[in-house]
C-alpha cells in the first residue's frame, strides 16, 4: 500500500515475482543479476511515477447518478451513471455502483478507459418488486493510469433514497389504449353499446355505421338529409376499487405479489374511470378496515388514490368480509360499481365469503376479480415423461378446475366475475368495466 488510497496492482506483484525468479536464477548465471537489478529499479521507479499520476489530482473523477425520485412498481426504470475524467491523462476505471440491496447485485461493475477530460454514461435497468423506499449507496471507483502498477480507490458519496409507487407508466399506457382508435389488437375490446343508459348530446349528420334507430326524422325532414341523435354515456357514477390485503394476496407471480398486481390495476382502472367522467374511490381491508377514500372526480382525486395505494401493507391475516359489508353499507350510500380484487384458492374460502358478497351485490354492482395461477397451467399442460410429472400435472389440473368452479358458482349467485392471469389483470378489469357501461348495468 503506497498511501491511504493507493494500492499496488497484480501487475506489480507479477513483475516483482519475475524479478525474484531472476535473482534465484542468478546463482547459476551471474550475468542475470545485472538484469534483475535493472528490472527491479525500473519496477520501483515506474511504480512511484504511476502512484504520483493516480494521486496527483484530489478529485480526479466525478460521477453523477440520474434516477427519478419516484420509480414505478414492476416496470423497467432506467438509471444512468455519468462519469467524468477531471484529469489531463488517460485513466482506466472500474466502477462499482451502490445498488440497493434488494437488487441482489454484488458482482456487476462498469469498465472504461476515459480520455483526458472525457465523459461516459453507463445505463442499467432497475425493476422494483415492492412498494416503499429503496436506498442507493455510495459508488466506489478503482482508478489506474497508463502503467497499471498502482491503483487508487476513490469513494464517491452518492447515497440516495428513492420511492417506488404503483406504476404510473402502466396507467398512462392503458389510458392511451382505451382512448385511441386502434385498440382491439392490444387487448382492449370495442364493445357495442346496449341498453338505454345514455344522455342526449347532439344532433349530427348520419354516417355509415350509425344505428338506424337513432335517426331523428324531424331534423331529417327539415335539413333534407339524414340526421341522427348522438348520445353519450352517463357520467358521475360511483366506482370503487376494493382491495383485499389478507394473506391470500401474498402469493407471488414473476416477483410481484397479487396485492401489488391489484394495486397497479386499481391505479390504472381508477384513472380510466375518472377519464370517463365517473367518480373513483378506494377501499382496502383485511381482518380490519384500511383506507376508505370516498368516490370523487375532482382534480386531486388521482393524486389521493396514488398516495393511498403507495401506503398499503398486508396484515397476513384472513379477510373479514362481514366487516367489509358493514363498512360499505355505512359509507357508500348510493348505487355504485364495486370492483373487488381478491384471491380464492379453495371453494371453502369462496363459500365462506359468498353470503356477504351476495348482500353487497343486492345494493350495488359487484365485480369479483381473482387470479389464475399461470405456473399451474404450464405444469398441467407440459408433456409428462415420468410418473412424478404425471402426478404433478394431475394435481395442477385439479387446482385449475377448482378455480373455474369458484368462478362458475359466483356467477350462479348473480355476481359478475373476472378470473384472470396476473399479467392480464388490468386489461380484463378495464374490459369488464367497459362492458358494464355498455350494457347500462351501472
Q: Residue 342: which CATH number? A: 3.40.50.410
Q: Are residues 410 and 270 in the same domain?
A: yes
Q: Are residues 11 and 130 in the same domain?
A: yes
Q: Are residues 178 and 222 in the same domain?
A: no
Q: Are residues 127 and 13 in the same domain?
A: yes
pLDDT score for 15: 65
Q: What CATH number should be reported for the domain holding residue 105?
A: 2.60.40.10
Q: Are residues 224 and 128 in the same domain?
A: no
Q: What range does the domain containing 160 cover? A: 1-165
Q: Are residues 368 and 258 in the same domain?
A: yes
Q: Are residues 256 and 322 in the same domain?
A: yes
Last residue of a domain, one of 181, 214, 233: 233
Q: Are residues 325 and 404 in the same domain?
A: yes
Last residue of a domain, one of 213, 233, 253: 233
Spatial CA neighbour of 243 closest among 331, 167, 342, 321: 342
Per-residue pLDDT tens digits of the chain, which is 442 residues long: 333 465 556 666 666 677 677 667 766 777 677 776 777 777 677 777 777 777 778 889 999 999 998 999 989 999 999 999 998 888 889 999 999 888 877 667 899 989 999 999 999 999 998 898 999 999 989 888 777 677 888 889 999 999 999 998 888 888 877 776 444 445 655 554 444 445 555 677 877 767 777 788 888 888 888 888 776 555 678 999 999 999 889 888 888 899 999 999 999 999 999 998 899 999 999 999 999 999 999 889 999 999 999 988 877 888 999 999 999 999 998 999 999 999 998 899 999 999 999 999 999 999 999 998 777 666 667 777 778 777 777 777 787 888 899 999 999 999 999 999 988 999 999 999 988 888 877 7
Q: Are residues 177 and 204 in the same domain?
A: no
Last residue of a domain, one of 179, 212, 233: 233
What is the phi/psi pair of residue 94, to 5°? -120, 115
Q: Are residues 209 and 323 in the same domain?
A: no
Q: Are residues 336 and 349 in the same domain?
A: yes
Q: Are residues 17 and 145 in the same domain?
A: yes
Q: How many domains is the chain built from? A: 3
Amino acid at each position: 500500500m503506497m498511501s491511504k488510497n493507493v494500492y499496488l496492482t497484480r501487475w506489480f506483484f507479477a513483475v516483482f515475482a519475475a524479478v525474484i525468479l531472476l535473482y534465484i536464477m542468478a546463482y547459476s548465471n551471474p550475468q542475470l543479476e545485472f538484469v534483475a537489478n535493472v528490472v527491479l529499479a525500473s519496477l520501483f521507479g515506474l511504480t512511484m511515477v504511476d502512484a504520483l499520476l493516480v494521486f496527483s489530482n484530489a478529485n480526479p473523477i466525478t460521477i453523477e447518478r440520474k434516477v427519478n425520485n419516484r420509480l414505478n412498481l414492476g416496470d423497467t426504470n432506467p438509471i444512468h451513471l455519468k462519469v467524468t475524467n477531471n484529469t489531463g491523462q488517460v485513466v482506466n476505471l472500474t466502477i462499482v455502483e451502490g445498488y440497493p440491496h434488494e437488487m441482489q447485485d454484488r458482482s456487476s461493475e462498469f469498465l472504461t478507459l476515459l480520455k483526458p477530460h472525457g465523459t461516459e454514461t453507463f445505463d442499467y435497468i432497475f425493476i422494483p418488486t415492492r412498494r416503499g423506499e429503496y436506498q442507493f449507496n455510495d459508488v466506489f471507483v478503482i482508478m489506474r493510469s497508463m502503467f497499471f502498477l498502482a491503483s487508487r480507490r476513490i469513494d464517491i458519496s452518492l447515497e440516495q433514497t428513492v420511492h417506488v409507487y404503483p406504476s404510473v407508466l402502466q396507467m398512462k399506457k392503458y389510458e392511451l389504449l382505451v382512448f385511441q382508435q386502434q385498440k382491439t389488437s392490444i387487448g382492449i375490446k370495442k364493445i357495442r353499446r346496449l341498453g338505454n343508459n345514455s344522455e342526449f348530446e347532439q344532433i349530427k349528420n348520419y354516417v355509415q355505421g350509425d344505428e338506424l334507430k337513432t335517426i331523428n326524422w324531424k331534423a331529417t325532414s327539415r335539413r333534407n338529409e339524414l340526421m341522427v341523435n348522438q348520445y353519450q354515456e352517463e357520467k358521475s357514477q360511483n366506482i370503487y376499487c376494493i382491495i383485499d390485503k389478507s394473506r391470500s394476496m401474498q402469493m407471488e407471480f414473476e416477483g410481484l405479489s397479487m396485492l401489488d398486481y391489484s394495486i397497479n390495476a386499481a391505479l390504472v382502472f381508477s384513472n380510466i374511470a375518472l377519464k370517463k367522467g365517473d367518480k373513483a374511490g378506494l377501499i382496502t381491508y383485511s381482518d380490519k378496515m384500511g383506507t376508505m377514500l370516498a368516490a370523487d372526480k375532482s382534480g386531486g382525486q388521482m393524486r389521493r388514490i396514488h398516495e393511498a395505494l403507495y401506503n398499503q401493507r398486508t396484515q397476513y391475516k384472513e379477510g373479514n368480509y362481514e366487516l367489509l359489508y358493514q363498512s360499505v353499507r355505512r359509507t357508500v350510500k348510493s348505487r355504485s360499481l364495486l370492483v373487488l380484487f381478491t384471491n380464492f384458492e379453495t371453494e371453502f374460502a369462496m363459500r365462506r365469503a359468498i353470503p356477504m358478497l351476495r348482500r353487497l351485490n343486492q345494493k350495488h354492482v359487484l365485480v369479483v376479480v381473482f387470479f389464475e395461477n399461470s405456473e399451474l397451467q404450464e405444469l398441467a399442460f407440459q408433456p409428462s415423461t415420468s410418473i412424478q410429472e404425471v402426478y404433478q400435472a394431475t394435481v395442477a389440473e385439479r387446482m385449475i378446475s377448482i378455480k373455474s368452479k369458484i368462478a362458475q358458482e359466483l356467477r350462479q349467485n348473480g355476481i359478475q366475475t373476472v378470473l384472470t392471469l396476473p399479467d392480464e389483470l388490468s386489461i380484463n378489469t378495464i374490459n369488464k368495466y367497459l362492458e358494464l357501461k355498455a350494457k347500462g348495468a351501472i
